Amino acid sequence: MLFPTVEYALFFLAVMAIAWPLAGRVSARKEFLLGASYVFYGFWSWRYVPLLIAVSLFAGLIAQGIQRSEDERVRKGLLTFGVVVCLIVLAYYKYTSFLLLSAMGIWGLVGRTPVLNLPAPFLPLGVSFFVFHAISLMGDVYRRKLKVQLFLLDALLYVAFFPQLIAGPILRASKFIPQLMKPVDATKIRVNRAFLLILAGLFKKVIVSNTLATRLVEPVFNSPAQFHRWDVLLAIYGYAAEIYCDFSGYTDIATGCAMLLGYRFPRNFDAPYTATDPQDFWQRWHISLSTWLRDYLYIPLGGSREGKGRTYLNLMITMLLGGLWHGASWTFVVWGGLQGVYLIGHRLWAGQKVAFELNQTRWWPWVSRVLMFHAVCLGWVFFRAPTFRLAATVLKQLGSHGATTLAVWPVVLTLVVGIFGQYAPRMCRRGIEATMSRMPVAANGAVLALGVYAIELLGPTGVAPFIYFQF
């Protein structure tokens, strides 16, 4: 069930109509939202709803065991067991084919390639996200960050809550579960803010992302040898805008829907293409994942506590595994490796005297933004291309000569909005929200309806799946 569809709109309105009368009945409301979340997931495939229930139930029982125990060895043993089981589930569904094909490739280098006719498991939608939520639940309880008693109903709903179930953001149990335990206060909901988020998300997804995907990115990345330098460069920039607007648009809609139900989600994007260095980029891009990797992988590996060499190794391991989390392909590993190189290179550069001197100038931050944006775009080539051969062809065509055929004004304008829209000051959004708060309810409804109609009118035919659904 995709967000920008009539089916989801009807589903969400039905959920709202039932959830709000239950606002004062905390348990009944949670039971209803849990059932609605399973219906939402089952709309894609009922076959994997038992997997979702099993993973969340398992994580909840392990977390309860950790919370009840005062023996540190028992707590650590339960956490280790729980994390290992969750990772085995993720590895089975997501990496079985990748590992087998990689092993066959290595075998083929030293001898005859074996012929295996093993059926690969079908990838459940959003499996990476709900497994990471399960791990986060156990981790937060182990670290005693969850200050309230954990009940199974809360654990199940935390993992399966439908706005974030398919593609995040990755919620922290210590922040979200306490929200589930209190009655929802309708007077504290910023309704205009929620509707503006949903409208902005629809605009970014339906108009910007879908337009760039269908009219620029897909033609070039499907057959890069047929296009020349400027079309290929535009397509690379286009994918940077597409993936940002696709994922941040999804997050905006998810956050707005959760807000209308009375729950708060963390910020997941903060104008990432305005970043001046790799560390700054990862503090702005997919923030819930980058902080998850930091807290549950980088810091447990040792972080920066054991010298520069170990710090660089920890950074590289974290980013390589972060790349592999996005997909079972060596191109994702290379993408993650590039991010690791960027982070390590920046740390080495930041320690130089010339870096300090340049940072004192007015112009260097803008040079840094341009350099950082193009470094990110290089990584997106490998992220988007399914094979190294295709990625190499895309990069090779940057050196070819010929006239552009795709740089028509609607595409260029959409690209500019997708990238430079991130420079719009936050005061604009707050000003719009303040203006709407002074308008009559009927006028607000008319403005929002007009906005949705305009998005539907201007967007391409059909709704492409969200890119992060595959992760």
Give tens-digit pLDDT for 359-391.
889 899 999 999 999 999 999 999 999 999 999
Q: What is the pLDDT of residue 113?
A: 52
pLDDT, one tens digit per residue, over 205-230 is 999 999 999 999 999 999 999 999 99
Q: Which residue has the tokens 């920890």?
A: 314
C-beta of residue 208 within 8 angstroms of C-beta of residue 457: no
In the predicted model, what is the mean pLDDT of residues 300-306?
87
Question: What was the pLDDT predicted at 460?
Answer: 74
Residues in the chain: 471
DSSP 42-103: HHH-GGGHHHHHHHHHHHHHHHHHHHH---HHHHHHHHHHHHHHHHHHHHHHHHHHHHHHHH
Separation CA 254–CA 248 (nearest Å): 10
CB 136, CB 173: distance < 8 Å: yes
Task: Give me the pLDDT at residue 463, please.
Answer: 60
Confidence class for position 54, pLDDT limits 50, 70, 90: very high
Q: Could you tell me which residue, 309 or 464, shows the higher pLDDT?
A: 309
| Closest to 19 in 3D by CA, of 30, 8, 9, 3 | 30
Q: Pick the catalytic residue from 133, 228, 286, 326.
A: 326
Percent of the chain topping pLDDT 90: 63
pLDDT tens digits along 307-353: 889 999 999 999 999 998 888 788 999 999 999 999 999 999 988 88
Average the pLDDT over 135-146 and give the result. Answer: 94
CB atoms inside a 10 Å sphere around CB 250: 28
Give the chain's mean pLDDT.
88
Q: Average pLDDT in the 66-76 region?
A: 94
pLDDT, position 439: 78
Whether residue 107 has pLDDT greater than 60: no
Would you state the torsion angle of the CA atoms of residues 282, 283, 285, 287, taken in this order, to the nearest 10 degrees? Answer: 110
Rank 137-141, 398-402, 460-464 by mean pLDDT and report only the highest: 137-141
Give tens-digit pLDDT for 390-446: 999 999 999 888 878 888 999 999 999 999 998 887 777 777 777 777 777 777 778
pLDDT at 144 over 80: yes
- CA atoms within 13 A of residue 227's CA, in its CB half-sphere: 26
Look at residues 58, 30, 292 and name the one whose alpha carbon lies nearest to residue 174.
292
CA 457, 460, 462, 463 dihedral sign is negative
**Whole-number Å distance between alpha carbons of 384 and 220:** 11
Q: Which of 167-176, 199-208, 256-265, 454-463 has the lowest mean pLDDT?
A: 454-463
- In sign, the C-alpha dihedral spanning 453, 457, 461, 465 is negative
Q: pLDDT value at position 398?
A: 92
Q: Residue 428, by phi and psi: left (phi above 0), alpha (psi -120 to 50) or beta? A: alpha
Q: In the predicted model, what is the mean pLDDT of residues 69-78?
A: 94
pTM for the whole structure: 0.89
> Which of 7-11, 91-95, 431-435 bottoms out in mean pLDDT, i.e. has the lowest?
431-435
Cα 214 from Cα 308, distance rounded (Å): 45
346 is a catalytic site residue: no
Residue 433 confidence (pLDDT): 74
What's the rounded Cα separation, in Å, for the pair 58 and 9?
Answer: 32
